[in-house]
Structure 1
Amino acid sequence: MSDDIYQAPEADLESEVEVVEHEFYVVSGPKFLALMIVTLGWYELYWFYRHWKNYRICHKESMWPVMRAIFSIFFAHSLFGKIDASLQVENKKFSWSPGLLATVYVVSTIVSRLAERFANYSDEITVIDLISLGLFPIVIWCLYRVQMAANIACNDPQASSNANFTPANFIWLAMGALLWGLVIFGLYVGFVEPDWALS
């Protein structure tokens, strides 16, 4: 400690430096699919956030991972391209088309969100209500392929470092199960008019 009482205290910057094990977010296929499907896609927000956070820390870049996750349709091409670039630098083989996957993801997401908005204007179940659910598997497939590429880029193809479910994962799964229950109940009420509505 300095004897100069007017000198500002020195911060221990080394202890504040964030460290990540991988350049991108690593998660196993089964865990990814379970969290995406059961949470009805809400996991996607965290998924994008973690990829951008890892990349920011690893490359010491100035960016806001949260904003890139929220506005993922504007940054999907960039993220998928960075994962592909990492694969190519180390000559790692993975059969995929990052540009095409990003485009399919962006278009599917935009159409799905527009369908949800239009569906809110009607109290009856229509084809528009089913468009969002129909596009959901396509979005999952796109992100699943990207995740497999990211795992290979991070030298962990089986994602053994993140294959087990944590307590936080189980909380998300429980919340997702409740959400699915509400969706199924809503569809049931929409297709089968309850007895109390006839009186």
Structure 2
Amino acid sequence: REAGYHEADLLTVAERLEVRMRRHRLHTAALGHDDADRFATAVLLGFPRDDPDTVELVNFGHEPPLAVGPHGLRALPGADGLPLGLGDLTDDRPRVRRVPLGREETLLLMTDGVTEARDRAGEFYEPVRELARAVAVDPQLAEPRRLVRRVRDGVLLHSGGHLVDDTTVFAMRRVGEGPVQGRLRS
């Protein structure tokens, strides 16, 4: 994670994370601990200064981020990469995708604890369907804090407050004008 502060290139950060996960696995194995199944899903995001209307992303097996705006929502490229720590199973390098992201769109990320939350009947929570309907009724819902509250309240209501996995909901939107003045609000 420290590489994110020092490396300008998202692919370099992705590769350093993968190396770190493998190094940790080898280290714990050398200490006699079985850590062969250690992996992590992740999404890395970059906001290019030269193109403020795009986002760069590398997806390591994570739920795809959503772009939510007053005109609806759309999924960004999905989990085309293996989770971190499993890169030695393939010769493929992580892939950086550059995707348009409008200034009125909020980037929404959720862990699988949200999308795999179940109700009493065992049905999964479907935030994409719920959010699509809600944004159609109230386009202002795309504001980051409102969006996070909506997902939080929706998953808690759906699951009866009983969550069996870690849940994280994170929303951010680029604000300001131009590539240098732009900043993120979450």
Q: TM-score, normalised by structure 1?
A: 0.26
Structure richer in strand, relative to its length: 2
Q: Which has the larger radius of gyration?
A: 1
Structure richer in helix, relative to its length: 1
**More relative contact order in 1 or in 2 (CA 8 Å, sep 6+)?**
1
Q: TM-score, normalised by structure 2?
A: 0.28
